[in-house]
């Protein structure tokens, strides 16, 4: 990477945002986070000493919050966008080749129905039981495939597979048992 950028991340104290902050700072960028800290998270404490990091307490849904920060921040009120750190850095590094085109970002192997996903989870957890509820209706009617071919053609490859993600979640759930964050 040759250029350093000033980047605003709304919701930057959340899971995805805090991951992006660390990666962007490590890549040499200056980062400002706008977050209302509604979940009392502290995922950014480790970057507070970095002089290229700043944080603003505020709510991106309130237009007056964004006015002093940037045009990007104001436009964020109209369109919330979640961008993972790796693909964001890939976009910066390949800006000229990628400019002016939309890109879907995700895992092609995650183009599964909920039932198929449960079957993949069962491959990791023998005896995992899942079923469709005999009553009610699933409000999520999505039944389409999202193509990640365009960004793949630009050299971007996800760092983790669906199976990697399932394995990570299994480890996380082991830690959550009988804790503040668990319902079991």
Residue 74's pLDDT is: 46
Looking at the DSSP bridge assignments, the partners of residue 57 are: 35
Helix (H) or strand (E) holding 54: strand 53-57
Percent of the chain surpassing pLDDT 90: 14
Tokens of 67: 């006015």
Which residues have C-beta within 8 Å of that of residue 180, sequence separation ≥ 6?
none
Arithmetic mean of pLDDT over the chain: 78
In the predicted structure, residue 120 carries a pLDDT above the cut 90: yes
Residue-wise pLDDT for 123-149, tens only, equals 999 888 888 777 877 766 666 777 888
What residue ranges define each of the domains in the chain, with the CATH number in brackets? 1-97 (3.40.50.720), 101-184 (no CATH)
Residue-wise pLDDT for 43-70, tens only, equals 888 888 898 998 888 887 776 665 544 4
In the predicted structure, residue 29 carries a pLDDT above the cut 90: yes
Percent of the chain surpassing pLDDT 70: 77
Question: Who has greater pLDDT, 176 or 100?
Answer: 100
Query: Average pLDDT, stretch 2-30?
Result: 86
Is pTM beyond 0.95 here?
no
> How far apart, in whole angstroms, are the C-alpha atoms of residue 138 and residue 60?
30
> How far apart, in whole angstroms, are the C-alpha atoms of residue 4 and residue 56?
21
Collapsing DSSP to helix, strand or coil, 130 comes out as coil
Query: Average pLDDT, stretch 11-28?
Result: 88
């Amino acid at each position: 990477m040759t250029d350093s950028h000033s980047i605003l991340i709304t919701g930057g104290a959340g899971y995805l945002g805090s991951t992006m902050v660390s990666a962007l700072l490590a890549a040499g960028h200056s980062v400002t986070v706008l977050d209302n800290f509604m979940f009392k998270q502290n995922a950014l404490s480790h970057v507070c000493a970095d002089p290229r990091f700043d944080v603003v307490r505020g709510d991106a849904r309130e237009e007056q919050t964004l006015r002093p920060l940037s045009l990007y921040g104001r436009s964020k009120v109209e369109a919330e966008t979640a961008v993972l750190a790796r693909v964001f850095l890939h976009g910066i590094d390949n800006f000229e080749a990628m400019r002016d085109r939309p890109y879907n970002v995700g895992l092609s192997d995650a183009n599964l129905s909920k039932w198929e996903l449960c079957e993949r989870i069962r491959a990791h957890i023998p005896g995992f039981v899942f079923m469709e509820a005999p009553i009610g209706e699933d409000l999520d009617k999505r039944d389409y495939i999202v193509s990640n071919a365009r960004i793949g053609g630009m050299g971007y490859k996800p760092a983790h597979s669906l199976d990697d993600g399932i394995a990570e979640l299994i480890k996380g759930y082991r830690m959550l048992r009988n804790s503040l964050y668990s319902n079991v």
